[in-house]
Structure 1
């Protein structure tokens, strides 16, 4: 297997490149051609996986995660969280930190060296966490349940189905049509777990994960696989007797693709797991806000009650700020942008986008009635460690641009109105 590690927006080619760079990499021609085909498939679904730059180069878009081509080339894409060079373990830690909090994943072994000693792509770390949770669950005991079975037997067991028995042909009257209850582990939660286990056992390339996955397969050998993953996930029981299944459910949802990358966060297609980085960052900011807001403050995500304009017959251009914070009778609008800005580049407006300010101005007019404070949160980097000077749309509508420390999950400055 050929492992290639790069960052967002890296350039890929089939020719020689500078060794050790995370912004350029060389891949086999078969993987290059496969990526071109995948780019077309993603584009038809409304997303851009890669962009063609002539005949020799591909530029990755803003997805992070792992892509594996049919020829066995595995491309690990890490977040571009700093402007200059960075090392792979640091970038992996940043991505895992954001995924854990953004997806609310119950993680074991969260010490500072947990990922440093795991020298493998993030997808292998996800598989490892799932297998560890399943190992604990199996040791504690799978949940068994009764379920009805209809079958044809040579002996009477359970309840005889009289109508079906009377319709038996003369040559089969010695067989009984019966219905009875079976007490086993074939309940939908276990079927989902067995389906996820079968998937990771075929995908993993890490020896420890491979060994544990096949050991656990022997424990679930009698459990059927789910034939309706989406429906079974929706019917997953959360009663008191199933409380010990709570930690493994998010991992099953992630591995089985219940979270679509084009609408939520991640989808595992074949041997590829991708996350749109803007949504990862947005979910991470939400988790940080919920963790640090004081008692009494409420957080609403993706509000959609206001529109930019209207005609006599219809409203047009719905406005959807990322977050609305309400505290002590005041309202505050917060937006998250995954972009590296430069707090020293005054002449180039710090790298801020004019379209983002138009967007925030519209939010302020509709959600705050032109009065109050708003915030734009960007990832902290070496050139952006303190808030920028406050921006004024008018005397009553203000905007703060704040840095978020990706390691600690804390932002510099305050996002509460009136403080």
Structure 2
């Protein structure tokens, strides 16, 4: 039976009260899911700087800027999309954009991710990840599952392999007909295959798509001799990436997504189904970094999260480290760029376009410490219909200026920083 699927976007309100006209910013959820989200969010507030959701009143939750999908124990699925499009009819556009940004942020090659098929692929994020995993597993099975030698020790009534002489000499009376043996078995029971089977089992158990369930069941029959992974984190660390395992490389990120290792929140074991959540700010930062790297001038080097300078010294120690998202350097100068996931409005001058004063203070500190008060810096925000051109520059001084630039996530300029010809940024 298909479970309840609720689609909202960042910063939406979720309530248990009846909603006359649900939309992407306000939706009704079951009481069981509400209670579970409250409990889950409370647990993470003590472990993480970011919260999943904030309790607004007894019947309403206010979501933070996490995006992705999460399935509660009651079976209800909550899909959270980026808040970038205004129109309710743009759910599929937002979903497509999120899929592509996550794929790029995880360094999955476009060909392997099947991004060319996204226009026709209407499934939510969890089912999309499951389908990508199954497609790669199908190719892997055609190329062949790798086996390896596994050491075994048994007490058996026949000779096999090598006798364990020390244990045999301590054999108990009446057990003379048994032998302590050591031998190696050539078996597909290895870390990588156990992880594949664990991910496959999770898909079979929780997918709500009949075609995906059928394909997963067929593949599970082929791998029925391989056990589940009992220690997922340990097996992930044991994943081999040598020449003989090169055909396993494409499936690894999808396997990690399903088994939750890429999630910023340790939800594995606490949710049902394939639950995948990302802080949208981090996804955007990573996406901008990877795409900008492709358009740098040949002489320019990029560093992410540079840690060269701190704000001040105290008792000969650095205090308040300054870590710009992106630092560009060549032999003679550098440029500081910071990516912010926020919708600006280039027409709303009275509200300062939606810019944050704290961000400007932060960039000023970067400019003084990293650039010695000279040059061009940039704050990068997502492009949308109300912000599609660079704002006029902001001058800290006659020699230090800050640009506020849109970054295209869709259209003909997708993946490019719209910086115009006026900036001195080292980009093509």
**TM-score tier (shorter):** over 0.9
The correspondence of residues 186-335 of structure 1 with structure 2, limited to 5 A, is 186-261=189-264, 269-271=270-272, 272-327=275-330, 329-335=332-338
Return the offset for 1:122.
0.5
TM-score between both structures, scaled by the size of structure 2: 0.92
Name the counterpart of 1:65: 68
Q: Is the 8 A contact 1:262 1:276 kept in 2?
A: no
Name the counterpart of 2:129: 126
Return the offset for 1:118.
3.3
Matched, 1:412 2:405: no
Name the counterpart of 2:31: 29
Q: Secondary structure at the match of 2:85?
A: coil
Return the offset for 1:255.
2.0
Cα deviation per residue 1:272-304 (whole Å; 9 max; x = unaligned)? 221111111111111111222232321111111
Matched, 1:110 2:115: yes
Cα deviation per residue 1:155-198 (whole Å; 9 max; x = unaligned)? 11111111111222122221111111111212222122222222
The correspondence of residues 37-116 of structure 1 with structure 2, limited to 5 A, is 37-46=39-48, 47-106=50-109, 107-111=112-116, 114-116=117-119
Return the offset for 1:269.
4.8
Q: Is the 8 A contact 2:265 2:277 kept in 1?
A: no
Q: Structure 1 residues 235 and 330 mapped into 2: Cα distance closer, same or farther (>3 Å)? A: farther
Q: Structure 1 residues 325 and 395 mapped into 2: Cα distance closer, same or farther (>3 Å)? A: same
Q: Secondary structure at the match of 2:77?
A: strand
Task: Provide the aligned length of Structure 1 versus Structure 2.
Answer: 415
Q: Secondary structure at the match of 1:232?
A: helix
Q: Structure 1 residues 234 and 297 mapped into 2: Cα distance closer, same or farther (>3 Å)? A: farther
Match among 157, 161, 173 for residue 160 of structure 2:
157
Task: Give the distance between the partners of 1:214 and 1:147, measured in 2 at CA.
Answer: 27
TM-score between both structures, scaled by the size of structure 1: 0.94
Q: Structure 1 residues 19 and 268 mapped into 2: Cα distance closer, same or farther (>3 Å)? A: farther
Return the offset for 1:105.
2.2
Larger CA deviation: 138-147 vs 226-235: 226-235
Return the offset for 1:151.
1.3
Q: Secondary structure at the match of 2:122?
A: coil
Name the counterpart of 1:377: 380
RMSD: 2.0
Return the offset for 1:82.
2.6
Task: Give the distance between the partners of 1:418 and 1:149, measured in 2 at CA.
Answer: 59
Q: Structure 1 residues 273 and 262 mapped into 2: Cα distance closer, same or farther (>3 Å)? A: closer
Q: Secondary structure at the match of 1:243?
A: helix
Q: Secondary structure at the match of 2:320?
A: strand
Match among 4, 7, 15 for residue 5 of structure 1:
7
Q: Structure 1 residues 34 and 262 mapped into 2: Cα distance closer, same or farther (>3 Å)? A: closer
Return the offset for 1:416.
5.7
Task: Give the distance between the partners of 1:412 and 1:20, measured in 2 at CA.
Answer: 35
Task: Give the distance between the partners of 1:168 and 1:267, measured in 2 at CA.
Answer: 45
Q: Is the 8 A contact 1:6 1:76 kept in 2?
A: yes
Task: Give the distance between the partners of 2:212 and 2:269, measured in 1 at CA.
Answer: 18
Task: Give the distance between the partners of 1:296 and 1:139, measured in 2 at CA.
Answer: 43
Q: Is the 8 A contact 1:256 1:268 kept in 2?
A: no
Q: Is the 8 A contact 1:12 1:27 kept in 2?
A: yes
Q: Secondary structure at the match of 1:172?
A: coil
Task: Give the distance between the partners of 2:344 and 2:87, measured in 1 at CA.
Answer: 13
Unaligned runs of 5+ in 1: none
Return the offset for 1:79.
0.6
